[in-house]
Amino acid sequence: MPVIAVDAMGGDFAPEEIVKGVAGASLATAIECVLVGDEPRIQAVLDTLSYDPSHIRIHHAADAVGMQEAPREALRAKRDASISVGAKLVAEGQADALVSAGNTGACLLACAREFRVVKGVRKPALASVYPRHVDHPGQDPLALLLDVGATVHCDAADLVQFAVMGNAWARRASKTARPKVGLLNMGAEPFRGGDVLAAAHERLAALPAIDFIGNVEGSDVAEGRADVIVCEGLLGSVVLKFIEGIAGVVNDVASYAVRQRLLWRLGMRLLSGGLREVAHLTEHAAYGGAPLLGFEQLLVKVHERSRAPAIANAVKLAAKTVRDGVVAEIAAAVQEVRA
Amino acid sequence: MTGPERRLGWVGALRVRRPRRRAAAMLAPVVYRWDLDKTYLKSDFESLAKMMRVPFERAEDKVDEPGVVALMRALRAAARAEGRRSFVYFVSASPPQIGRAIRDKLALDGVEIDGIVFKDQLQHLVRGRFRFLREQVGFKLAELLKARLAAPAGAIEYLFGDDWESDSLCYSLYADVVAGRLDHQALGDILVRLRIDPARLVEIRSLARKIPTADAVRRIFINLERRTPPGRFRSFGARLVPTFNYFQTALVLHEEGMVPLAAVVAVGHSLIDRATFTRAQLRNSLDDLVRRGHLRTHDPALRRDLEESGVLPSTAVPGWWTQRLWRRLRRRRSTPRPLPAKRPVVIDYPRLLDAWLASGGRPGEAAS
């Protein structure tokens, strides 16, 4: 059974919600978790919870990087920060993957310092699953979007590599033999979006290993035309946050309607089940976080506002990824394209 | 060599040497009192259908909690090796109709007992007093006090229960009554608040007056079968040890000087062989116990011993065989010297009962 290191001190609700998530996972699965952080604080939280001690280890780390701290400076000043220690445990082979809800910049930097990059990978990419429209029965209701924040701007070669890594992930994770890969752009024509995107389009279209469907637009993201959508980090992050914001908008619209008329209130009551479904679909907690692809070791980055269920799902996702050998598959796919 | 000793190999035989017989006269007799369901047996009461099946189960259908048999045998064997008198009793709120199957099960497991008491539910049914069918504190406390009166003078006691019913409260009351820390008036008030059978109340008051005062109960072990958060038992004091498995229980008993290291090894191997525990899981269980403060020492030698006997995953380079042999020869005592009894915490029963009753009598719900 895989061993998953969990940064207990990262996130808006750390360590309580992180420890609670791990305690829940310890009862529901046989995954061994190593909680990295302030041992007395972690144990104090565990004492108030139902848990299985045989599936939980605590590795003490005296420091923690705050959510608002500048990553580089914080990691330099706090040598014993939980995220650094967690990344080190994974790099040394004491754990198979790392889960963190902490400061994204610090997570990426700590991993970049401790993890080994897959041979041939230029830049790692943070990938996130998101809900999409299902066209036919049996189609995976989740699609993959990458990069969502590991980079800011990329060149064509980076985007091609993201497509290769995303394709390998989707083949394993959603069991789709030939996932459809799209390039996020402002129009369907191959020359759209400037030199970088046009060059990436040309190179992806020439890759036989990938089922490239061409450019996809903003409206196609939710439509579900592609199983894997590739874009640079800045754009991906904006799209992801927009999707997460939908749940809030649905709630606001519903509250407005309820206040206005009795008839609308009754209508809302009838629709409430469906609205809850929509809110659930866009709820980040259900999807288990974003894997960082391109390293020989695995980081699953969870939303900063994550609570216990999201952490438990992230632990399960990390364990499944390790069991399925996804990282090795990505490395093989990258090598194949290079050759 | 016995089973656990054989597992330790030829050098292990040197280590698991016969415990030095302490002067028998100095060793107080020891009484182990056990609950049955969820403590010894993995009884399944989760649904009415499963509950109805229990009386019809045969001995071979009954399943024991992982590691409990190895621990019970080790407790007896350790006492015998030291020349100490030991007694094992069960007090169960199950009906006496299942008695035969239970005795057969204990015989099958090779566990020697000195007595077993069941709750006569029939008298409550006949009299239509259905409220008392599920009442446990009054029944158990009365039976424990009766048994104490019959126990050898100066006997020390270890109590084993679980987190399903009221064992933590009942055993703590018993320990404090025997120790004279709970006066008769206070005990009466508590039992009235718990609404126990009035006939039992009279009996308990009378028994409590006759009990010779002695700080006899050394430890109360609560098997966290339903995974109750351990922090909820803090208000019961350090005397009560909530444990997640019998490897943890064996570790505490080893530190108390009640069982040798071979017993901890035997329980560990029993969990690995019969309950699909891994060595890493046992190491995590040990670490959990240390973090919760129930092992007084973070003993590297104990850890190394357990690693060398294959119960914990190996972490250290073992070194030359001569070094290993020297280490083993140096560890002359496999059963550590008994530690002085912990200073008992004065339990705030009125406050504990407020929380207990507010939570509907769920175990460990008392405010910590």
Beta carbons within 8 Å of B142's beta carbon, 6+ residues apart:
B200, B203, B204, B207
Tell me the average pLDDT of chain B: 83
pLDDT at A307 over 80: yes
| C-alpha B294 chain-centroid distance | 14
Task: Say if A54 is an interface residue toward chain B (CB within 8 Å).
Answer: yes
> Which letter does DSSP use for residue A228 in this model?
E
What is the rounded CA–CA span in Å between residue B253 and residue B238?
A: 14
Tell me the average pLDDT of chain A: 90
pLDDT at A294 over 50: yes
Q: Which of B228, B229, B284 sits opposite A54 (nearest CB)?
A: B284
Measure Cα distances from B283 to A36, A120, A143, B259, B278 in Å.
17, 39, 40, 19, 9
Q: What is the pLDDT of residue B162?
A: 94
What is the rounded CA–CA span in Å between residue B149 and residue B356?
A: 29
Task: Work out the average pLDDT over A181-199.
Answer: 92
Q: What is the pLDDT of residue A281?
A: 59
What is the rounded CA–CA span in Å between residue A30 and residue B100?
A: 37
Task: Say if A56 is an interface residue toward chain B (CB within 8 Å).
Answer: yes
Measure Cα distances from B301 to B14, B286, B305 in Å.
16, 13, 6
B281 three-class SS: helix
Q: Kindly list the residues from chain B whose CB atom is less than 8 angstroms away from the CB atom of residue A54.
A: 244-245, 277, 281-282, 284-285
What is the rounded CA–CA span in Å between residue B89 and residue B35?
A: 9
Beta carbons within 8 Å of B120's beta carbon, 6+ residues apart:
B95, B96
Task: Work out the average pLDDT over A108-126.
Answer: 94
Q: What is the pLDDT of residue B337?
A: 57
Quick one: which H or E segment has residue B241? strand B240-243
Residue B128 or A206, more confident:
A206
Sheet strands side by side (includes B240-243): B115-117, B86-91, B30-34, B156-162, B217-223, B240-243
How confident is the model over B141-166, as pLDDT tens digits?
Answer: 999 999 999 999 999 999 999 998 88
What is the rounded CA–CA span in Å between residue B343 and residue B348?
A: 15
Backbone angles phi, psi at B96, to 5 degrees: -65, -15
How confident is the model over A280-293, as pLDDT tens digits?
Answer: 655 656 666 889 99
Q: What share of chain B is helix, strand, coil (3-state, %, to 5)?
A: 50, 10, 40
The highest-confidence range among A80-89, A240-249, B296-305, by mean pLDDT, is A80-89
pLDDT at B73 over 60: yes
How confident is the model over B258-285, as pLDDT tens digits?
Answer: 999 999 999 999 999 988 899 999 999 9
Q: What is the pLDDT of residue A103?
A: 95
Give the domain ranges of chain A.
1-121+294-339, 125-284
Neighbours of A244 (CB within 10 A): 16
**Domain A125-284, architecture per CATH:** 3-Layer(aba) Sandwich (3.40)
* Contact criterion met (CB < 8 Å) for A54 and B282: yes
Task: Say if A251 is an interface residue toward chain B (CB within 8 Å).
Answer: no
For chain A, percent of residues with pLDDT exceeding 70: 96
Lowest mean pLDDT among A89-93, A179-183, A226-230, B12-16: B12-16
Task: Work out the average pLDDT over B4-28.
Answer: 51
Give me the interface pTM, i.e. the ipTM. Answer: 0.83
Task: Work out the average pLDDT over A255-270.
Answer: 80
A125-284 shares the fold of A1-121+294-339: yes
Give chain A's end-to-end CA distance (angstroms, integer): 34
Task: Say if A51 is an interface residue toward chain B (CB within 8 Å).
Answer: yes
The highest-confidence range among B14-23, B230-239, B293-302, B316-325, by mean pLDDT, is B230-239
Tokens of B155: 């006997």
What's the CATH code, domain A1-121+294-339?
Answer: 3.40.718.10
pLDDT at B84 over 60: yes
